[in-house]
Amino acid sequence: MNETTLEVPYEIPVDAHNPVEPFLRMDRMPHIWCPGCGIGTTVNCFTRALLDSKADLDKVAIVSGIGCTGRVAGYASLDSFHTTHGRAIPFATGLKLANPELQVVVYSGDGDLFAIGGNHFIHAARRNMDLKVICVNNLTYAMTGGQTAPTTPSHVISATSPYGVFEPAFNLVALAEAAGASYVARWTTYHVKQLARSMEEVLKKKGFCFIEVLSPCPTLYQRRNKMGDGLDTMKFYKQASKVRHGAPTSECALTKSGEIVVGKFVDRDRPGYFELLNAQMTETLGERYAEPEVVCGNC
């Protein structure tokens, strides 16, 4: 019995349990994420979205790349796949093509998805592959020591930019929209309810969906830039963020301390990869074409 149960001034029902626990490998806890890191918060939102969308958990697969956020695949008690660096989307594409019944969620960080894996991201979005991409953006390469990432805003101090970053950063939501994503949203770890709702929408939507989640990185990003700890960043998100659904994504670039535009920017329907494949092949081959059969053992 731990000390809390002794201290609690009222009764806790015996069958009460944390709603996250059925979705996690609790034997792996505590996790490796730093105090004040927001990745765990995004995992909470994701599990609430899975609960609310009543998804069949046997048909949900999580694919992660390398990085702090890449650890989510290891902690999720679903079919999960921890892939090589940057290649989460190609692995997920293969998974989806081999078994189209699967709901494939790519859960990875900004360094993994947009630096080494940037090429794969734009092509999966172009093809409108039915993947749900959740990108936890902490604006740096956190696991390797806080180097400048393609998402690091100007004037930020990082391990490889001790005098400040001068390269322009990617605007991930604009990139996703331009590449052809069906659904594009941005939230921060402060907006837990909105993020959970957005994730639930994405689980029900067809096509390539992209959610960017801004998350604090107190150990490497905030510390070098004297931005305080995780809680200070959460307060900053609360004060600096502005919900603007449907805002033009080109106006939503992130800066070091400026306004953070959040919301659902794009929600459109484009023909998916399978529809286009079947349409084209039926047109050219006619009766000689048969839709690919799914053969995958007992699934």
Partner 1 sequence: MAKGFVSITVERCKGCGFCVEFCPTHVLALSSAYNSKGYHAPHIVSAEKCSGCDLCGMYCPDFAIFGARYAR
Hey, which residues between 211 and 230 contact partner 1 (CB under 8 A)?
Answer: 229-230
Can residue 71 be called a binding residue for partner 1 (CB under 8 A)? no
- Whichever of 4 and 298 has its CB closer to partner 1, that residue is 4
Find the part of the chain contacting partner 1 (CB under 8 A) among 30-38, 52-60, 98-106, 164-172: 30-38
The least CB distance from residue 71 to partner 1, in Å, is 12
Identify residues 170-199 at the interface with partner 1 (CB under 8 A): 192-193, 196
Report the alpha-carbon distance of residue 4 to residue 23 in Å, rounded. 24
Considering only 235, 242, 245, 268, the residue that binds partner 1 (CB under 8 A) is 235
Q: Does 24 bind partner 1 (CB under 8 A)?
A: yes
In angstroms, give the least distance from the CB of 135 to partner 1: 17
Identity of the residue, 39 or 60, whose beta carbon is nearer to partner 1 in the bound complex: 39
SS3 233: helix
Angle at 276 between CA 272 and CA 279, to 5 degrees: 140
Q: How many CB atoms lie within 10 A of CB 257?
A: 12
* Percent of the chain that is helix, strand, coil (3-state, to 5): 40, 15, 40
Asked whether position 234 contacts partner 1 by CB under 8 A, the answer is: yes
286 binds partner 1 (CB under 8 A): no
The one-letter code for the residue type at 125 is: A
User: Among candidates 95, 36, 53, which has minimal Cα distance to 219?
Assistant: 36
Q: How many residues are given for the chain?
A: 299
